Homo-oligomer: A and B are copies of this chain.
Amino acid sequence: MTDHAPGPVDPTVLRQVLDGPWAEVRDAHRAHLDERFLPVYGESGDQARERITRLLTELPTEVGIASAFPTGHGGRSDVGASIVASEMLAQVDLSLMVKAGVQWGLFGGAVVALGTRRHHEAYLRDIASAKLLGCFAMTETGHGSDVQQLRTTCTYDPQTQTFDLHTPHEAARKDYIGNAARDGRMAVVFAQLITGGQRHGVHAWLVPIRDERGNPMPGVTIGDAGPKAGLAGVDNGRISFDHVSVPRDMLLDRYGQVAADGTYTSPIDNDSRRFFTMLGTLVRGRVSVGGAASAATRSALTIAVRYGDLRRQFGTPGAEREVLLNDYLAHQRKLLPALATTYALHFAHTELVTALDQAHRDDSPLDEHRQRELESRAAGLKAAQTWHATRTIQTCREACGGAGYLAENRLPGLKADIDVFTTFEGDNTVLLQMVAKGLLTGYRDAFGSLDGWGRASFVAEQVREMMIERTAARSLIQRLISAVPGQDDEVAVTDRGWQLKVFEDREKHLLDGAIRRLRNGAATKKDRPFDIFNDVQDHVLTLAAAHVDRITLEAFVAGVEATTDPAARALLSRVCDLYALSVIETHKGWFLEHGRLTPARSKAVTAVVNGLLKELRPQMGTLVDAFGIPPAWLHSAILREEANRQETMAAHDAAGDPQVVPA
């Protein structure tokens, strides 16, 4: 189907491509995180928590876990390095990654981003060194997605010059809070700020929750969220406040200040906009979560692919040994498109990390438009990466049969730990809706406000002009698309320009359709504002996913173009074909419905995908080796044992028993 299969590639060359910027951060983790940091199978919840807390304080300084902190405050102002660090930590242990993410990303990150100089000077060093452990207490039992509606209140009293922090009822208690059940000494607590009898929306305070001896502070009630599906090493808990007094200067007041007399001031007038600006500074956490999910996916795929190259089952006529699992088309269908998608998402992730890092390096603040763009990409990619992780780890576990169900083979832990990634740091469905809202914002005049979807959005309601924002190598993409002849059917489905065009066309068409449907709805359902949006919710979620597919493909194409080694480039190009055509195959119903594919061409896509699987079969090992996961980190008994077992059995079979013949 394709011209010629790519030749052998040196995995280390391919690995350099994947390592990308911050390769030295990856190498530092590979060198300094030894087996002590790997998961322990079968330990109790208490043991896991104790171990992970200890490891948190024992992380080698070389890995630079707090490198996003400002230089001079325990870090080196390197946001990209901090995201890559959490990705590498996730490759070792997801509990450790999440615990670190709570401490340095969420808790520390909030103090950095929402606090001002006095907070930085007082606390960041101890946070960076893990001397002061803390929580990020935003989510409440009653409000997780719609955090603008938090019910905790923090009311200023000019008489005492303190705030009164209070949980009015059970739905307002802080819930699922990492570091709360066991370790946290302080928490960044989000609550409705009230002063002078007026609400000013959600703000954050730095609040001690435990004393030196680990006992809850007066008025603070701490509960344990108890055992979870996974992440046993993370002590998620619940926190309630019974009129807790908080000194005025503990308000993290970068975006809103309360004077001694109770006067409220803020550089941002609108409560809602201020809140989303505050949230926007925390976008890094979402990017880290996506990166961690991708890292777990790589671990699972490496285990399944390597096992599939060792494990044999079922004979075939004329062959001495049984067939390797990876030689079955059905097995390739399970693993190779998932592998290609993992590559694609990796390039998209790297591009996003680079952009985010650059934004933090710029002296001038980001313009709002670029900030929203970053937030939207972080949201969309996080959803794509975490759903891909959940699906792929499940596939890998099944691809290893019963062995995949045993803790000693790692996959159960990966699966259990990663599960919550689809709903924490933003529920994926809500995040995709936010992406869609961003895409539609430029058109809102056509159908009115977008409030019918609620407010769970980082996207400011400004009118945007440009629909298709190319994220990488704009001119390259445009050139490839422009080179496609007018008559699609004459172009090979492996033509990169055609693939790009098809992805872009799908997004555009879905966007146009959404706008048309919303406009019609606005005209006919005036008395049912909820229905205007709800009736097209499936459509706009599809739009958002198509948008993420497009930016992912474009990032992959840019990554291929940037690869200089010819063999590595040829292989990546084939993997990119497999990604693009797998996505098209998955959505072939849409393409056929909308006349974008003829039935014959649609069938050709499937044939080419199967051809690519055959071509890439010999390269499966190389493709996972290039992830550069140190063998010890895979921590999977079957990889250590299966080769030897197969050899012993083969030798035994070959020797036979001269005294026995078949009946």
Contact of A228 with B401 in the complex, beta carbons under 8 Å: no
User: Chain B residues with Cβ under 8 A from A146's Cβ?
Assistant: 313-315, 322
Contact of A402 among B144, B314, B398 (CB under 8 A): B144
Contact of A534 with B171 in the complex, beta carbons under 8 Å: no
How many of A's residues come within 8 Å of B, CB to CB?
Answer: 110
Contact of B407 with A197 in the complex, beta carbons under 8 Å: no
Contact of A319 with B610 in the complex, beta carbons under 8 Å: no
Q: How far is the CB of A160 from chain B (nearest CB, A)?
A: 17
Contact of B402 with A328 in the complex, beta carbons under 8 Å: no
- Docked Cα-Cα span, A333 to B536, in Å, equals 12
Contact of A314 among B401, B453, B649 (CB under 8 A): B453
Number of copies of this kind of chain in the complex: 2
Q: Which residue of B lies closest to A602 (CB)?
A: B593
Q: How far is the CB of A534 from chain B (nearest CB, A)?
A: 5
- Docked Cα-Cα span, A398 to B420, in Å, equals 8
Contact of A42 with B660 in the complex, beta carbons under 8 Å: no
User: Chain B residues with Cβ under 8 A from A170's Cβ?
Assistant: 641, 644-645, 648
* Beta-carbon contacts under 8 Å, A44-98 to B: 44-45
Which stretch (A10-18, A29-37, A423-431, A622-630) binds chain B?
A: A423-431
- Docked Cα-Cα span, A599 to B306, in Å, equals 43
- Docked Cα-Cα span, A229 to B229, in Å, equals 10
Which stretch (A204-212, A411-419, A497-505, A563-571) binds chain B?
A: A411-419
Q: How far is the CB of A592 from chain B (nearest CB, A)?
A: 4
Greatest chain B CB density within 10 A among A229, A415, A585, A644 is at: A229
User: Chain B residues with Cβ under 8 A from A327's Cβ?
Assistant: 530, 534
Contact of A652 among B168, B227, B411, B649 (CB under 8 A): B168
Q: A466: CB under 8 A from chain B? A: no
Q: A214: CB under 8 A from chain B? A: no
Contact of A330 among B323, B407, B537 (CB under 8 A): B537
Q: A659: CB under 8 A from chain B? A: yes
* Beta-carbon contacts under 8 Å, A150-193 to B: 151, 155, 168-172, 175-176
Q: A392: CB under 8 A from chain B? A: no
Contact of B538 with A329 in the complex, beta carbons under 8 Å: yes
* Beta-carbon contacts under 8 Å, A483-542 to B: 529-530, 534-535, 537-538, 541
- Docked Cα-Cα span, A146 to B175, in Å, equals 48
Q: Which residue of B lies closest to A199 (CB)?
A: B662
Given A314-B454, A588-B589, verify A423-B405 contact (CB < 8 Å). Answer: yes
User: Chain B residues with Cβ under 8 A from A644's Cβ?
Assistant: 170
> Residue-by-residue, is A322-346 near B (CB-CB < 8 Å gives 1, otherwise 0)?
1100011110010000000000000
Given A538-B330, A599-B593, A661-B199, verify A420-B407 contact (CB < 8 Å). Answer: no
Q: How far is the CB of A610 from chain B (nearest CB, A)?
A: 7
User: Chain B residues with Cβ under 8 A from A649's Cβ?
Assistant: 142, 151, 169, 171-172
> Residue-by-residue, is A271-302 near B (CB-CB < 8 Å gives 1, otherwise 0)?
10000000000000000000000000000000
Contact of A44 with B44 in the complex, beta carbons under 8 Å: yes
Given A314-B455, A649-B151, verify A139-B229 contact (CB < 8 Å). Answer: no
Q: A615: CB under 8 A from chain B? A: no
Q: Which residue of B lies closest to A391 (CB)?
A: B394
* Beta-carbon contacts under 8 Å, A450-465 to B: 451-456
Contact of A419 with B397 in the complex, beta carbons under 8 Å: yes
Q: Which residue of B lies closest to A423 (CB)?
A: B401
Q: A354: CB under 8 A from chain B? A: no
* Beta-carbon contacts under 8 Å, A633-657 to B: 641, 644-646, 648-649, 652
Q: How far is the CB of A25 from chain B (nearest CB, A)?
A: 30
Q: A149: CB under 8 A from chain B? A: yes
User: Chain B residues with Cβ under 8 A from A427's Cβ?
Assistant: 398, 401
User: Chain B residues with Cβ under 8 A from A41's Cβ?
Assistant: 226-227
User: Chain B residues with Cβ under 8 A from A663's Cβ?
Assistant: 198-201, 264, 271
User: Chain B residues with Cβ under 8 A from A145's Cβ?
Assistant: 313-314, 401
User: Chain B residues with Cβ under 8 A from A594's Cβ?
Assistant: 599
Given A139-B402, A599-B592, A661-B198, verify A227-B407 contact (CB < 8 Å). Answer: yes
Q: A2: CB under 8 A from chain B? A: no
Given A149-B315, A589-B602, verify A225-B406 contact (CB < 8 Å). Answer: yes
Q: A408: CB under 8 A from chain B? A: yes
Given A42-B45, A146-B322, A397-B419, verify A315-B662 contact (CB < 8 Å). Answer: no
Contact of A197 with B144 in the complex, beta carbons under 8 Å: no
- Docked Cα-Cα span, A323 to B534, in Å, equals 11
Q: Can you report 5 residue pairs joining A to B where beta carbons are below 8 Å apart?
A: A44-B44, A144-B402, A316-B530, A538-B610, A593-B599
Beyond A327-B530, A592-B592, 18 extra complex contacts between A and B, CB < 8 Å: A142-B649, A143-B313, A145-B401, A146-B313, A170-B641, A170-B648, A176-B406, A201-B663, A226-B408, A229-B405, A230-B405, A313-B454, A316-B452, A316-B454, A316-B529, A327-B534, A588-B592, A589-B602
Listed from nearest, the 6 A-B pairs whose CB atoms lie closest are A314-B454, A229-B412, A592-B592, A588-B589, A589-B589, A42-B227
